[in-house]
Amino acid sequence: MRKRFKNVLSNESDIKEYLENLQDEYSESRDVFYLYLIIQLKSVMTKLSQTSTFFSNVTSEEITTLYTYLEKVSDWGYFELAMYTNCLSLFEDNYLLFNLNDVLAQFEKFKTSYKYKLVLIKFLVNSLILSFERMSYDKIPKLLEVLYTESEDSDFMKGRIYWKFNSLYHSVNGNFEMDNTIYIDMLVLLGYEDDAKNMKDIERCIQKAIKKGNTNN
């Protein structure tokens, strides 16, 4: 199912068929797994600026169902942690801030698992990116602290690069200029082209936030 999710994105008719199949599966089973895939597909389509007539944004009802499911499950496993990580942008800042320590505690239960550590690194990086995009900085010190600790092992080098990049902007409202080319080039050299592009987008977002902050002062 996940493999097909990746394969259909290049063809509009495949996307339409796959979305309809997911909606039928969810309507019949009410299994939140299918709802999660529906939300993921719609979110990806939004980022890709697909505006076909069949396409619709994630609905408030879908988000509410996701909220309700996560609130009911007290002991999160891989599915819940991965789903939360990949759906961060759907949640309000107050909710994310309120749940940060609880979510980190859920990850802590699996601290010896490489598989869970990868999701944790992704959660921290996604949270940092979203915080800067929304110019919501309350969580950033905690996120940077945890990301530094969790990326000490060289196996998680990409997480450490993101930590260094984002920590340079810790004082996001300050007046300063920085050249982050070295970190972007490092990702390219390591073969992380998508991450390098993502980092350039983050940099533009942060610079925009800094400029806006200076204008308001």
Residues 214 and 127 both lie in one domain: yes
Q: pLDDT (tens digit, 0 to 9) for every residue of the chain, 217 residues total? A: 555 555 555 566 677 788 888 999 999 999 999 999 999 888 877 766 554 555 678 899 999 999 999 999 999 999 999 999 999 999 999 999 999 999 999 999 998 898 899 999 999 999 998 888 888 888 888 998 999 888 877 667 778 777 877 766 655 544 445 567 777 888 887 777 888 887 788 777 767 766 665 556 5
Residues 112 and 217 both lie in one domain: yes
Between CA 131 and CA 135 the distance in angstroms is 6
CB 22 within 8 A of CB 41: yes
Domain that holds residue 41: 1-72
37 contact partners, CB below 8 Å, separation of at least 6: 1, 2, 5, 22
Claim: this prediction has a pTM higher than 0.85: no
Residues 35 and 111 both lie in one domain: no
Residues 100 and 163 both lie in one domain: yes
The H or E element containing residue 105 is helix 93-108
Residues 66 and 94 both lie in one domain: no
Q: How many domains does the chain have?
A: 2
